[in-house]
Structure 1
Amino acid sequence: MSKILDNSYYDLLITTALAPTYDTGDNITYLNRQNSLLHIPIGTPNPCDLGRHSYSSFPTLYVQTSTVSLERSGVNTVQNNPNLALFGRGVLVAVIDTGIDYSHPAFRNSDGSTRIVSIWDQTVQTGTIPTNFTFGSEYSREQINTALNSEDPLSVVPTTDPIGHGTAIASILAGSPNEEQSFRGVVPQAEYIIIKLKEAKESLKSLLFVPASKVCYQETDILLGIRYAVTVAERNNSPMVICIAMGTSQGSHSGRGPISDYLDHLTLLPGNGVSVSAGNEGNNQRHYFNATAAPPFYNDVELRIGEKDTMFSLQIWSFSPSRITIDISSPNRESTQPIFPTLDQCRRFSFIFNQTTIYVNNTIFEGKTGDQMILLRFNNPLPGIWYLRIQATTNEPFTFHSWLPSGDLLSNETFFLNSNPDTTITAPANSRHPLTVTAYNQNNSSIVPESGRGYTRTGLIKPDIAAPGFQITCAVPGNQYGTATGTGAAAAHAAGIIAMVFEWAIVKENYVRMTGNDANRLMIGGAVRNPAYSYPNNIWGYGQVEVNQLFERLITQ
């Protein structure tokens, strides 16, 4: 078995330049020019393996970011203009998600043939592994068409989407029209690259205190999916738009990390667009912020832990040059006493009068940012209100953020009592150059309440733009149609608009050097802005996407 699939190995992120020094023949998986994976045997699992190996070397865990309005964003107006008529022809759209129901009419041409160029299913190991990759199965357009013409398609191309999220996102982006369902994707003549992600390794979930029953995905598998999409687009010599409708609250929220760095690079190249959902953490009460400017230099955080959450993690990030300690008190007032920052120490605390165990990594500097990071991992916590005293090691002002896990990795019974809805955009949406998309209700022009809010922890202006994201009609597996709500749906909508820009600029040769960043700036420039607000702001970004204004500005001489 490939070690990237083997649950008895950790997948550690290393710099690709160092990979040859670790390579023993089968323990390295190349990701891109910046990063590779080093597979090391776990042996006897120990939560303090995170400490022996740095936090930044372990992949983060991602969750989905979604649960009908083309006219509202101006798409119909542009497509009905005979001088534009932009439907995504000649553009590839890559969806990196939970797979696709490839037999659904939303992904087929009028003659019944597929609109999918290729599928890489990371979960199936019986087919042909893509060139220069080490696992999964690749299915070509020809194989998919053969399957569609057979009595049992899954016997030919055995890839499915049991969750349905990837099918929904792909259909909102570029689904073929269905008049009976009042459905049409934004660019129904674009063609697809589909990457079905394998679920995260149980060993990684266990290390990060994520229950085994929770569905989530490894950062590194998404990174491989991006690389696969790039290789297919290069092979087809076509412009491409990548849609990532997933996110994580792990990490520094500063736009740093392997996926962010890769997407930043791609978005600055001609013909590569990236649309990323802002996440749905805006109203979950899972973010806490404090700036202590005057004595006494400490702050007490109140965290309510619900009965359903028997294991989870929490992160605290401070800003240099201050250094902070943490003292954790249970609802019955047992305390760890102050825990001081160290280079790589992992400490275990067991409480006498309850069954709680807490692992604490108070790291002087995290590898990607250089900032102090405190990681708390709770096992069997006593339900009730816990108290976290954050205190400066010296009598000076300090500032910190804290985040709980995103999505359904945590129940709604666990939250900060004095939470802050800002700085809740999930990674990689806090990257600098990709288009970060929040969701609004197209029926009443209000923001969808759960939409992640900016800015980033370091003040970068995010989100960039708001797109329709409330009960958007979409395809669901089994030839059915439903709706999707959330920033994932909005990101899919915005990805379709980037594809329209690429068709006009690159396919129709009006501006063949168009980059994803160029397209983003055009969308921001053409956005609708409510005079009641000042822009940019941390909820709406630069306003609501409006394609008609975008092209009016672009083609008006």
Structure 2
Amino acid sequence: MAITLAHSRFSEFNLDPALAEMAEAAPGQQIIEAIVRLEDPDQIPPRFTVVSRFKRICTGRFAAADTWTIRRHPNVVSLKAARPLGIHDEGGNPADLIPAQVTPTSRRSSAPFTGRGCIVAALDFGLDFAHPNFLNPDGTTRLVGFWHQGAPYDPARPNRFGYGRIFSQQEINAALRDSDPYQALGYHPAISDTGGDGSHGTHTMDIAAGNGRAHGAEPGAAPDADLIFVHLSTPRLSAAGDLGDSVRLLEALDAVNSMARGRPWVVNLSVGRTAGSHDGTSLVEQGMHELLRLGLDRAICQSCGNYRTADLAVEGWLRDGEYRDLEWIIDPADTTANEIDAWYSGRDRFVVGIRPPQGSAFTEVKLGEVSDIVHEGALIGRIYHRKDDPKNRDNHIEAFLYPGAPPGIWTVRLSGEYVISGRFHAWIERDMARPGAQSRFDRRITSQSYTLGTIATSPLVITVGAYDANAEGRPLAPFSSCGPTRDERHSKPELLAPGVGEVAARSIPRDAVQQEGLLVARSGTSMASPHVAGAVCAMFEAAGRPVSI
């Protein structure tokens, strides 16, 4: 993209930087998935095809060439690109596998309410639908809905979203009667078993609502609930992989609400990212907010993230005329793209600069401008400095480094040109394309506060952190992210739940065809959130009437 074109369009439309990058790189007819916020919910801009609606928040599709036209529409308040979402999980390893015949330490005591008549849904990666803990005593499935977003679309089995495959309860039961149910259904959870310790979604669903039928297993908090599972995916990947995105997450929530058919439901979300506004104003959070406001007997539980000590967050203050340097470390083994995101008060005016390793000069960008990052004659990134974000009226800095940018210590300089507040926060986006290749801030400047995941700050979503139930005093797990939110709400996370060494169902190994009730221990806030989701489901049953949580 020519910088003059980028500058003129960016200044005129104040476009979301990620969407600007996507639209300019794509061929004109390539379809883009995005989220839009409308002023009038009944006035849809031309050329924007709505997929899911949550009052003023809509997901949809449009051609890349129409991006600027849609953003220009007077009814469009904000237009955001789909952003990747990955699991919140410290993981496990083969040494943590628990043989089915060995009884682990009990996780829960029996309770009078078990979620009967209600639904636990998980939006996650990899469900072993044949695990005994997800079956009724007669061997039939407890699933009332199962959508694999990454499966090839079959026009003979259409769905209103236009992608993926929704398996019916009848199809799942027919597969369960086969000697190889995974081949019969055309779905194997091993597509998400990248570490050899089982799929993430199998484990989290069991913590929330497993019935304990596997020998040695303990029931979840809602063992009699019916189940819905959505295997998240994104056009960035093939059918395999543990990566979803913000657009398809909202569409998954829409699907859960439809599949529930008016019954009480709770969704567990153990996914997230780190870059973003962290104040509840992201469009995906606003979409969740609108969905929860549409009725009673519905709830969303979200893991808070595992970023407390990940060196991905910085916060501070600037005075008028001062500057602050943020050291951004990129490992030589990191060949992926990297991203940094910073926010500050709309009453202030900063100048942002970026300097490469061993460089002597900064590329400076004033408020309302965009600039290429060039190193040794090559375009290696771009930096955007947005004025007056339409969601929260704050100013926003976003820098992208492309694959091939030199490793080492980059310096991001924030300078206070006109300062009234001076408060700023910055986050590095987690690297979900290549685990182990995470860029980070210099530890000497990082904060363990303000480390919540990007979609864990919605006011109506229950945000859950992790504690170690196996240690004396049940301390906060060392990885569990901490608040407050960027807008200084200290209520997040609202709850803590066990999240260290949690034993639950393990999906079948890749080359096996018969599930024998395997278990595995895993750690992470991913394991904490489903404890709360199951408990909320049981509360819906206990209430015996429509309630809000």
Q: Distance in 2 between matches of 1:219 and 1:341?
A: 27
Q: Deviation of residue 486 (structure 1)?
A: 0.6
Aligned partner of 1:177: which letter?
A: G
Is the 1:277–1:491 contact (alpha carbons within 8 Å) kept by the matching residues of 2? yes
Shift of 1:419: 0.8
Is the 8 Å Cα contact of residues 31 and 223 (structure 1) preserved in structure 2?
Answer: no
The answer to whether the 8 Å contact 1:243/1:491 transfers is yes
How far the C-alpha of 1:314 sits from its partner, in A, is: 0.7
Equivalence map 1:21-40=2 (5 Å): 22-23=45-46, 27-40=49-62
State the partner residue of 2:80: 57
Q: Give per-residue Cα distances to partners, 1:371-392, cap 9 Å, x unaligned.
A: 1111100122322222211011
Specify whether residues 115 and 218 from structure 1 end up closer, same or farther in structure 2 by C-alpha distance, changes over 3 A only: same
Matches for 1:71-470 after TM superposition, within 5 Å: 75-76=108-109, 79=111, 85-124=112-151, 125-126=153-154, 132-161=160-189, 162-163=191-192, 164-178=199-213, 180-201=215-236, 215-233=242-260, 235=261, 237-268=262-293, 269-293=295-319, 296-310=321-335, 311-342=337-368, 345-352=369-376, 357-379=380-402, 380-394=404-418, 396=420, 398-406=422-430, 408-409=432-433, 411=436, 414-417=439-442, 418-444=445-471, 445-460=474-489, 461-470=491-500
Distance 1:231 1:106 in 2: 25
Task: Report the more deviating stretch, 215-224 or 154-163.
Answer: 154-163
Count of equivalent residues: 480
* Alpha-carbon distance in 1 for matches of 2:302, 2:408: 36
User: TM (normalized to structure 2)?
Assistant: 0.80
- Counterpart of 1:499? 537
Distance 1:61 1:222 in 2: 10
In 2: Cα distance, 1:184 partner to 1:397 partner:
51
Task: Decide whether aligned partners of structure 1 residues 39 and 239 sit closer, same or farther in structure 2, where only a CA change above 3 A counts.
Answer: closer
Deviation, 1:336, is 3.2
Q: Distance in 1 between matches of 2:147 and 2:217?
A: 30
TM-score by length of 1: 0.79
Letter aligned with residue 120 of structure 2: V
Alpha-carbon shift at residue 69 of structure 1 (Å): 9.1
Flag the 1:317–1:182 CA change in 2: closer, same or farther, 3 A.
same
Looking at structure 1, the residues matched to 119 and 113 of structure 2 have their Cα atoms a distance apart, in angstroms, of: 14
User: Do 1:318 and 1:401's aligned partners in 2 also have CA atoms closer than 8 Å?
Assistant: yes
The superposition leaves residues 207-240 of structure 1 with CA deviations (integer Å, 9 ceiling, x where unpaired) of xxxxxx985211010001101111111x2x3211
| TM superposition shift of 1:9 | 1.7
Letter of the 2:407 counterpart: P
CA positional deviation for 1:35 = 2.5
Give secondary structure in 2 for the equivalent of 1:224: helix
- Structure 2 CA distance for partners of 1:317 and 1:468, relative to 1, 3 Å: same
CA distance change for structure 1 residues 214 and 349 in 2, over 3 Å: closer, same or farther?
farther
Find the aligned partners of 2:370 and 2:388 in 1 and give their Cα distance: 14
Equivalence for 1:534: none
Q: What amino acid maps onto 1:471 in structure 2?
A: G
**Is contact 1:285–1:415 with CA below 8 Å preserved after alignment?**
yes
151-160 or 433-442, which deviates more: 151-160
Structure 2: distance between partners of 1:407 and 1:189: 37
Query: Is residue 206–residue 504 contact of structure 2 (8 Å, CA) maintained in 1?
Result: yes
Q: Contact conserved, 1:281 with 1:407, CA < 8 A, in 2? A: no
Structure 1 stretches of 4+ with a deviation exceeding 6 A read none
Q: Which residue pairs with 2:5 in the alignment?
A: none
Give 1:296 deviation, angstroms: 4.3
- How many Å apart are 1:467 and its aligned residue? 0.1
Match in the other structure for 1:487 = 525
Are the counterparts in 1 of residues 468 and 498 from structure 2 also a CA contact under 8 Å? Answer: yes
In percent, how many aligned pairs have the same letter?
22
Structure 2 Cα separation of the partners of residues 413 and 101 of structure 1: 30
Asked if 2 retains the 8 angstrom alpha-carbon contact of 1:319 and 1:399, the reply is yes
Deviations 1:354-411, CA, capped at 9 Å, x for gaps: x672201111122322211111001223222222110112265512111011364564
Letter in 2 for 1:286: L
Q: State which drifts further: 380-389 or 220-229.
A: 380-389
Contact 2:57 2:286 (C-alpha < 8 Å) held by counterparts: no
Structure 2: state its 5+ residue gaps. Answer: 1-27, 92-102, 193-198, 509-514
Q: 1:187 is aligned with what amino acid?
A: A
What are the superposed Cα offsets for residues 56-97 of structure 1, whole Å, 9 maximum, x if unpaired?
52122211012299966xx415x1xxxxx2122111011111
Q: Distance in 1 between matches of 2:297 and 2:421?
A: 46
Whichever residue aligns with residue 388 of structure 1, its letter is V
Distance, in Å, in 2 between the alignment partners of 1:7 and 1:93 is: 39
Q: 1:145 to 1:14 in 2, by over 3 A?
A: same
Task: Find the aligned partners of 1:121 and 1:151 in 2 and give their Cα distance.
Answer: 22
The Cα of 1:258 is off from its aligned counterpart by 2.8
Aligned mates of 2:29, 2:495 — CA distance in 1: 39
- Rounded to whole Å, the distance in 1 between the matches of 2:140 and 2:237 is 38
Q: Deviations over 1:505-544 (max 9, x none)?
A: 12xxxxx13212xxxxxxxxxxxxxxxxxxxxxxxxxxxx
**Following the alignment from structure 2 to structure 1, what is the Cα–Cα distance between the partners of residues 58 and 104?**
41
